[in-house]
Structure 1
Amino acid sequence: ATKVPFRLNQNQALLTFEDEGVAQRLTKMSRHTVNLDNTKANVTVRPFELEMGFQFELHVTVSGKKINVSEIPELPIPKDWMRDKLELSFYKAEQAAGGGEIENVTYNKESGTAVITFLKPGASNNFVGCTKYLFCAEGRCFKLAVSPHFDFRLRKFQPYCRVSKKTILLKGIPEVEEDEESVQDMIEIHFQKPSNGGGEIEKIKYTSRGAAYVCFEE
């Protein structure tokens, strides 16, 4: 499971219960009076919300108009000339049953790669299974690597805020003389009692000074 960091601010506590019904019941009660030794503290229970994220559908399709070309040799000719030679070679495309008219060639000299875009939809299908392509330039022949070009589309993109079913966030815990561990024990005792609407606690984290980052995993 993925661990998500959560910022726990000063005088706050996180409690994770074994039974999610306990957490939901305490959240509905909202306010609780906790006995912290000689002090009665009115604390607030809030649903534990993780950082906002995004959910979406990623649709991947093989382009019917584009192919990726790599392992293009570096030759002592201008970049535009190489692009023209690639266009001419793939336009003829005798090795792939005809490529057809080319709409655009994007060539990257540094990486030795290019994206060939044909004018006619479905033209790239002629290169299916053609992993090596014979390319001749400057009196020499080279084998270029050819692979499908994938189109990525995001759909149903929307933000969401995930709420934990088993964990609650306590706010408004007052500062007391007792040390942090003692206060945490008193909070745990209170929320573990069924008479207070509580139940068995799996984990608890309380911070009285500064802020702490908790790795949350549910």
Structure 2
Amino acid sequence: MDLSSSLYSLKDNGFLLTTPDPSDTSKDEMESLKQELEKWKAKLCVLNQENAELKREIEKLKEELAECCSALSQDGKIKKKVAEMKVVFTNMEDTEGDFPDMNTRCVFSVTTRIPFKLNQNHALLTLEDEEVAQRLTKMGKHTVNLDGTTADVKVVPLTVGIGIKFELHITISGKKISVSEIPELPIPDEWMRDKLELNFYKSEHGGGEVENIKYDKRSRTAVITFTRPGAMASIARGTRYPFYVNGRCHRLSVSPSTDGHLEKLQLFSGISTKTILLKGIKETEDDEESVQDMIEIHFQKPSNGGGETENIKYVSKGATWVCFEEDG
């Protein structure tokens, strides 16, 4: 080849071949890099916001944890002064198994309040002595002086509505706990019972050896019985219990297992022995409290067949409801 021959022209067969301008390429690359940088800045801004939100959430969880720890430090005990009482040993009771009975039993006496509608220009008067109330009722009508005017007031027995009285007996188990909010998992019931047993067997969470588990898949609840009384005490102090399954931690709601029943249920109604109903009280220009005082003074006088009063309620306009309860 003759190296000294002349160079061929870049223009050949109608095509013009040109080399790219390096300055244009640099501008495009710079613009692309700027756009990419803006994208990363936007992503960084979002991440910073999420990070700040997570920090606030962590602080909130720390505060909640501190409150829980403070509550647990009290060891679930309630300090309250109670009346001093004398305790007498009566007899021994056989216990089931090798452990004492750790159940807590409570009895609550419940009596409902009986409502009564007191209409306009009527009054209720409660006297200290039942005999005085009966005597005023037998007299029937009474002429009462109301600030210069008189009113023929009719006294009738007060018939009260139906009331209810019963005892509520509650037993808090020392060996059982109630568990709810169990997660729904596509596994047989027997497997779920096994997982619950393994989870509540762990002593680091306050559990112990499990005797029995009653699991209800439909309600997502279970009743767990431990072999030793007191094993459930530390669990029941909190309201949430960690449940690890399939690599995830769920929070179960736990509470002491309770059983309740009613005893001595009674329905009662009748006529009040100390409260009488006054009807036909005339309207006056005096205020309600003044009229009430004048009525009370009249029925306190022995000359009118009255006696000492405990309470009075008079309604001059509209109607009101009053409640009666058992006289202790």
> C-alpha displacement at 1:41, in angstroms?
1.4
Q: Distance in 2 between matches of 1:216 and 1:99?
A: 50
Contact 2:175/2:231, CA 8 A, preserved across alignment: no
Written as runs of structure 1 = structure 2, the 5 A alignment for 1:70-85 is 79-81=184-186, 84=189
Q: Counterpart in 2 of 1:33?
A: 142
Counterpart residue identity of residue 210, structure 1: G
Q: Distance in 2 between matches of 1:169 and 1:83?
A: 68
Written as runs of structure 1 = structure 2, the 5 A alignment for 1:62-211 is 62=172, 67-69=177-179, 79-81=184-186, 84=189, 86-91=192-197, 94-95=201-202, 96-100=208-212, 102-106=213-217, 115-117=221-223, 123-126=225-228, 128-130=230-232, 131-132=234-235, 135-140=243-248, 146-161=254-269, 166-171=274-279, 173=280, 175=282, 178-179=284-285, 181=287, 183-211=291-319
Flag the structure with higher helix content: 2
Q: Distance in 2 between matches of 1:68 and 1:34?
A: 66
Q: Go from structure 1 to structure 2 and tell me whether the alpha carbon gap of 1:46 and 1:180 turns closer, same or farther (over 3 Å shift).
A: farther
Contact 1:48/1:169, CA 8 A, preserved across alignment: no
Counterpart residue identity of residue 81, structure 1: P
Q: Counterpart in 1 of 2:121?
A: 11
Please identify, of 194-203 and 136-145, the stretch whose mean Cα deviation from structure 2 is larger: 136-145
Contact 1:13/1:206, CA 8 A, preserved across alignment: yes
Q: Go from structure 1 to structure 2 and tell me whether the alpha carbon gap of 1:155 and 1:195 turns closer, same or farther (over 3 Å shift).
A: same
> C-alpha displacement at 1:209, in angstroms?
3.0
Q: Distance in 2 between matches of 1:90 and 1:184?
A: 67
Q: Distance in 1 between matches of 2:308 and 2:322?
A: 20
Q: Go from structure 1 to structure 2 and tell me whether the alpha carbon gap of 1:82 and 1:57 turns closer, same or farther (over 3 Å shift).
A: farther
Q: Go from structure 1 to structure 2 and tell me whether the alpha carbon gap of 1:140 and 1:104 turns closer, same or farther (over 3 Å shift).
A: closer
- Deviations, residues 128-176 of structure 1 (Å, cap 9, x unaligned): 42344774311356786754310111222222348766533213x1546
Q: Which runs of 5 or more residues in structure 1 are unaligned?
A: 109-113
Contact 1:48/1:167, CA 8 A, preserved across alignment: no
**In the alignment, structure 1 residue 47 sits paired with structure 2 residue 153:** no
Aligned residues: 198
Q: Distance in 2 between matches of 1:193 and 1:155?
A: 45
Q: Go from structure 1 to structure 2 and tell me whether the alpha carbon gap of 1:187 and 1:15 turns closer, same or farther (over 3 Å shift).
A: same
Name the TM-score, length of structure 2 as normaliser. 0.46
Counterpart residue identity of residue 163, structure 2: G
Counterpart residue identity of residue 116, structure 1: A
> C-alpha displacement at 1:104, in angstroms?
3.1
Name the TM-score, length of structure 1 as normaliser. 0.63
Contact 1:26/1:45, CA 8 A, preserved across alignment: no
Give the percent of matched residue pairs that are identical in Structure 1 and Structure 2.
40
> C-alpha displacement at 1:208, in angstroms?
3.4
Flag the structure with higher strand content: 1
Considering only aligned residues, what root-mean-square deviation do their CA atoms show, in Å? 4.2
Q: Distance in 2 between matches of 1:193 and 1:165?
A: 19
Q: Counterpart in 2 of 1:111?
A: none
Contact 2:125/2:277, CA 8 A, preserved across alignment: yes
Whose radius of gyration is greater, 1 or 2?
A: 2
Q: Counterpart in 1 of 2:103?
A: none
Q: Which runs of 5 or more residues in structure 2 are unaligned?
A: 1-111, 203-207, 236-240
Q: Go from structure 1 to structure 2 and tell me whether the alpha carbon gap of 1:91 and 1:205 turns closer, same or farther (over 3 Å shift).
A: closer
Q: Distance in 2 between matches of 1:143 and 1:137?
A: 11
Q: Distance in 2 between matches of 1:193 and 1:14?
A: 17
Q: Distance in 1 between matches of 2:255 and 2:151?
A: 70
